[in-house]
Structure 1
């Protein structure tokens, strides 16, 4: 990838000259005249026109009006056509399946969801995702042929290069399941799979103000995990497990065993189902994350105390993370984040108490702007980046030439 701080013309001067490289100039939604593009790329007009003809033939760019004129006829400008193709975005959670269609901008076009159980196995769940996708496509009078890429988030570790889950603790039957290959039996589309919290972090970053380049996104729901943005880039780590804070040992976890097989994990103590269990032991009816949040919002003292303690437990891990990563922001999402300030109070209590003054001086801790659709937004964004990458466009261009 070219250095984003380099002038675009220099990027092209160093050898980037295919149709896919020209498309990158349109990815921010800007429109360009051919004169502007020739200046940016340094290409000869004839060479540039060849690249543009490919992109126009692929249906990805087209002419728009309102070009500025210095006299006479206004110059024709070209821009990305957001609705030329669609992205299928999928957010698979411990108990839910969300499916959405977005355009290439990416703007949400339609979405749907249904409850799921991992006991049904990967094929049944993916078939359900495809049924929802077909319903959404029909509602927009589109077909599977309009889908250029699929982005999917799953609640567990993923080998990002292959798109296969890697020993996901709460997803029995999914270990090494080839999600991309399964989808490609049904759709002619690129498929990208990642951990759901990574996608939430990407989706959240898209909503933040410019300058939020270092932050941690935390999901607190049936499980606990985090996505790390450092220097503006998502950090997946060597095997894709960066941010797996749910299985960091905490002091209150002594003697408590986690489904991962270890003792004392944060997730074994502070995840939504564990909060609900603690409340039931006190004689309070709470069987789900939604029940916990409803009790907190109704003013139930025991639920408030339980959620605040979960915040303290989470804060114990985040305090160490702040010292290690020095983020400017911690964003909390997931169903339990709807408990709001009661949860944040517990997190802040520990993080600000244990963190070094310099690392916490300007640190903000708040709930997500849009965690419910954040994974869908992130899934769409990584799918677009893969499908409209220079390499992918060159492959499409070769296929177009071969077919002509």
Structure 2
């Protein structure tokens, strides 16, 4: 039986991650013979997954051939569901957006209506991208709630009524088949939005950061953590639920989850909007707060900074525990006085050792972070050594 390190899937992983660029480098890294490497590469070329380009002349006068993963041989679909709207996109395997749509889609309408509406967007998007259904290799979905990753079930989401335990992957796969004509067995993966934002941002902007922490502050507050290249999800998808850490002096603040004292009930975009509304300013969401901040409204500035300070209190513990190299603040309140408040309390409360090598930054990908993360999640799953070998075997039998 072949060693796992000798399969075509493993060679693909070495090429896709840039660890090997030539046949010779593959031989050196794997210990395989030239003929075996050639046979494995033949499988990958036959599947259309690799591209070869002439390299520099070797010392013997023969030009080397550079091997690369071909990001254009297929496309992925990605979707980012928010509370009142959604983004859908077609991307190549390198995460480049080929076609995109943003539209109204209310999570509160329930999974049946939301997923059916979302699936209907993809036929026109594929046409806009100039790609057929046969090029689609899967879909990655971002949702604003905890997800049990192995099953794809949304678990007790505070702001997603009707979604608890719903078979999201199966329903979306069915809706895509009905609306866009995708295969009935199309791979669909789902994860929490903060997790996928963290994955997208880390892969695209901070690939060398071994411990990356992203905090999304919008309607609620959530965190995504990437450690040694892997998303930290916890035992059932509950890791990073930062907004539901209790504050010791906020016992009268009712949270959307039904509990009192959660940080999200005090410092989220929705909480700040509620505080502004109590002062007579029409505001319902983090987007409204951001608009007030852009207008320089003094109450909005004060409340956003105070909210950032409350978040900074909690993040001091998270930073001390995780010791990240990058802390990224994302979402509606990221590039506002909220960030000022976070910095003030974080540096005041955290140990100097925990912050001496810490970069505190805002989003690099903006509205595309979750889409890019969803695409990366899917590609890294489908082209992992195990999945790649299974897919190659299926292609050989077809």
TM-score, structure 2 length as denominator?
A: 0.91
| Counterpart selection for 1:26 from 4, 7, 15 | 15
Shift of 1:29: 5.4
Shift of 1:283: 1.5
Do residues 367 (structure 1) and 327 (structure 2) align? Answer: no
Task: Give the conservation status (yes or no) of the 8 Å contact 1:29–1:105.
Answer: no
Matches within 5 A, 1:4-403: 15-28=4-17, 32-70=21-59, 74-185=63-174, 186=177, 187-188=182-183, 189-209=186-206, 211-339=208-336, 342-403=337-398
Deviates more, 1:212-221 or 1:14-23: 14-23
Task: Give the conservation status (yes or no) of the 8 Å contact 1:134–1:143.
Answer: no
Corresponding residue number in structure 2 for 1:4:
none
Q: Distance in 2 between matches of 1:68 and 1:109?
A: 35
Instruction: Give the aligned CA root-mean-square deviation in angstroms.
Output: 2.1
Q: Distance in 1 between matches of 2:80 and 2:21?
A: 35
Q: Deviations over 1:324-380 (max 9, x none)?
A: 2222332100112142xx111211221122222322334332322223111111111
Q: Distance in 1 between matches of 2:319 and 2:354?
A: 7
List runs of 5+ in structure 1 lacking aligned partners: 1-12
Q: Distance in 2 between matches of 1:73 and 1:348?
A: 57
Shift of 1:67: 4.7
Q: Deviations over 1:274-297 (max 9, x none)?
A: 211211211122233222112112
Q: Distance in 2 between matches of 1:75 and 1:320?
A: 52
Shift of 1:124: 2.0
Task: Give the conservation status (yes or no) of the 8 Å contact 2:147–2:191.
Answer: yes
Shift of 1:307: 0.5
Count of aligned pairs: 389
Task: Give the conservation status (yes or no) of the 8 Å contact 2:57–2:64.
Answer: yes
Give the match's secondary structure for 2:6.
Answer: coil
Give the match's secondary structure for 1:369.
Answer: coil
List runs of 5+ in structure 2 lacking aligned partners: none
Task: Give the conservation status (yes or no) of the 8 Å contact 1:165–1:176.
Answer: yes
Q: Distance in 2 between matches of 1:257 and 1:327?
A: 31
Q: Distance in 1 between matches of 2:204 and 2:22?
A: 29
Shift of 1:252: 4.3
Task: Give the conservation status (yes or no) of the 8 Å contact 2:158–2:256.
Answer: yes
Task: Give the conservation status (yes or no) of the 8 Å contact 1:197–1:226.
Answer: yes
Q: Distance in 1 between matches of 2:58 and 2:353?
A: 52
Q: Deviations over 1:198-242 (max 9, x none)?
A: 111111112334542223210000111011233443211122211
Task: Give the conservation status (yes or no) of the 8 Å contact 1:62–1:80.
Answer: yes
Shift of 1:43: 2.0
Give the match's secondary structure for 1:269.
Answer: helix
Q: Distance in 2 between matches of 1:286 and 1:168?
A: 23
Task: Give the conservation status (yes or no) of the 8 Å contact 1:252–1:313.
Answer: no
